[in-house]
Amino acid sequence: MSDFFLSLSRSQLARSVVKQTGIPIPMPQNLKRQRAPWSHGTLHGRKIAIGGAGIQATTAGQTEPTSVEGDLASLLINAGAEISGEQSELNGILFDATEISSPSELKNLYDYFHPLTGKLLPCAHVLLVGRQRPSFPIAAATQEALSGFVRSLAKELGGRGITVNLIVLPPGESSSHHADISGLVRYFLSDHSSFVTGQVLLVSEPPPGAPPLKNQKFENLLEDKTILVTGAAHGIGAAIARRIASEGGKVLLLDRPQEVAALEAVAREIHGMPILIDLLQADAVTTTIKKLREMAPIHGVVHNAGITRDKTLFKMSPSKWESVLKLNFEIPIAITDMMMGPDHDYICAKDASFVFLSSVSGIAGNPGQTNYSAAKAGLIGYAEAMAYGGAQSFTSFLSQGRRERFNCVAPGFIETRMTEAMPLTVREVARRFNSLKQAGQPDDVAQAVAFLLSDASTCINGQTLRVCGQNMVGR
């Protein structure tokens, strides 16, 4: 179902009339989305300004940064961007805030961004880079202040379709050593992340044996990788499957037998392999593992299958509680645990990436969804626990070069068959309840999932990436 106000906003005349008359009609900015697969020149033709401590000022026309291997400027140039002077209209800003360590130094944010925010073009992207400082309380507090700045600026600029995000380097990271965030910079400064804003992601040390990203070509991100996607017949699951295939991956599409026609149609379209299993059946996990063993090694798993059975807790039946917790929480954990068990080395690749579809409801809660919110919050907790040492309890292979990763993607209001069935007024309020004032598309979620599955995100582990346009609830 189309968004009337978003369609109306495409008319320059309509936007002018609304602005001049002051009529309180929402006029969201049409977002620019990257439909094509990733390319090495992700940022080709974009004018991006760089600022912050530790970065030598680079004006338009200068293409040689001080540090060829580590400087953020060289990273952008390698991605095809044009390092722009501060007088130009801008497609993006990259700001190094790693050296800000005291409250007084936060004035650097004002001094830099105050004159530039008005020069950002619609649908531009802003990215700040911070650093964890756990051993220095004042520095740590000052770095935490960056998150408040980013979230507020994202809300101020969201009406123009502009995104603002923050990535935080691990302690002790040199301000000039940014090779491992090459993929993150490309993702957040490109239209691959158009519906991701106001987010803070912690960067991890690269796992042992991970190939350096500075030597990687950022194209065909999932080439030669076999990826399982559950709940792949419709909506977000089908979009994820298509995006994985577009990045060169081989997709195993799993859904229940009732969805055979839709599942096989998607599989034919992307040359994937359909797997018909009802995950709520008693033997579903062992059957799934048996199938996966036939196609090992598996390089990634997207736990997308899920259901809602909404009722207030007082009115909720035991079956509604149990079915939602089982499919949304217990089954993904059971499948992952079995893949990480004694037979793990024969099922998973050593660098396998697990992505769990959570929800903003799991972060902020939602009335009538105690079952669903509990399940989705549980997935976030599981990914964090597995990333920060929990995987060691399942396998002894970690000491032999294992480098699995576990992350969540938390969608907000996304246009799907389920949201089309909502009452009009509820749907309209939900669409506007974020900084970008519109709903997301299934491919917005698919973009985030494909990125987390790929080697471009090897420094992201145990994190939750919200694809919600900065929903007004939660962090």
| Helix H or strand E encompassing 150 | helix 137-157
pLDDT at position 65 is 38
Is 67 within the bounds of a domain?
yes
Give me the half-sphere count of Cα atoms (radius 13 Å) on the Cβ side of residue 164: 22
Higher pLDDT, 62 or 44: 44
Looking at the structure, tell me whether residues 164 and 246 fall in a common domain.
no
Does the annotation mark 187 as catalytic?
Answer: no
Q: pLDDT tens across 154-179, in order?
A: 999 999 999 999 999 998 755 444 44
Other C-beta atoms lying within 10 Å of the C-beta of residue 220: 17
Instruction: Please report whether residue 212 resides in a domain.
Output: no
Q: Of 202, 236, 270, which residue is a domain's last?
A: 202
**Residues 337, 243 share a domain:** yes
Q: Are 185 and 241 found together in one domain?
A: no
105 located within any domain: yes
Q: Of 140, 172, 202, which marks where a domain is finished?
A: 202
Confidence of residue 419 (pLDDT cuts 50, 70, 90): confident
Q: What's the CA gap between 435 and 151, in Å, rounded?
A: 10
Cα gap 372→358, rounded to integer Å: 10
131 strand-pairing partners: 169
Question: Is there a domain that residue 475 lies in?
Answer: no
Average pLDDT of the residues in 314-320: 93
Residue 469's pLDDT is: 95
Same domain, 52 and 164: yes
> 89 and 233 in one domain?
no
Both 36 and 64 in a single domain? Answer: yes
Q: Which of 346, 372, 382, 388 is catalytic?
A: 372
Domain range holding 163? Answer: 31-202
**Co-location of 155 and 296 in the same domain:** no
Q: Does 52 lie in the same domain as 134?
A: yes
- CATH at 144: 3.40.50.720
Mean pLDDT is lowest, of 16-20, 110-114, 345-349, 431-435, for 16-20
Tell me the C-alpha distance between 238 and 225, whole Å: 18
Both tokens of 178, joined, read: 């940014």
In a domain, 208, yes or no: no
Domain boundary residue, one of 132, 167, 202: 202
- Do 308 and 270 fall within a single domain? yes
In a domain, 211, yes or no: no
DSSP letter string over 77-89? HHTT-EE--TTS-
* Domain co-membership, 280 together with 369: yes
Q: What is the pLDDT of residues 196-248, one digit of tens each?
A: 999 999 998 876 666 666 667 899 999 999 999 999 999 999 999 999 999 99
Asked whether residue 104 is assigned to any structural domain, the reply reads: yes
In this prediction, residue 392 carries a pLDDT of 54
Q: Are residues 275 and 149 in the same domain?
A: no
Q: Are residues 16 and 81 in the same domain?
A: no
- Whole-number pLDDT of residue 435: 95
Number of folded domains that form the chain: 3
- Does residue 42 lie in a domain region? yes
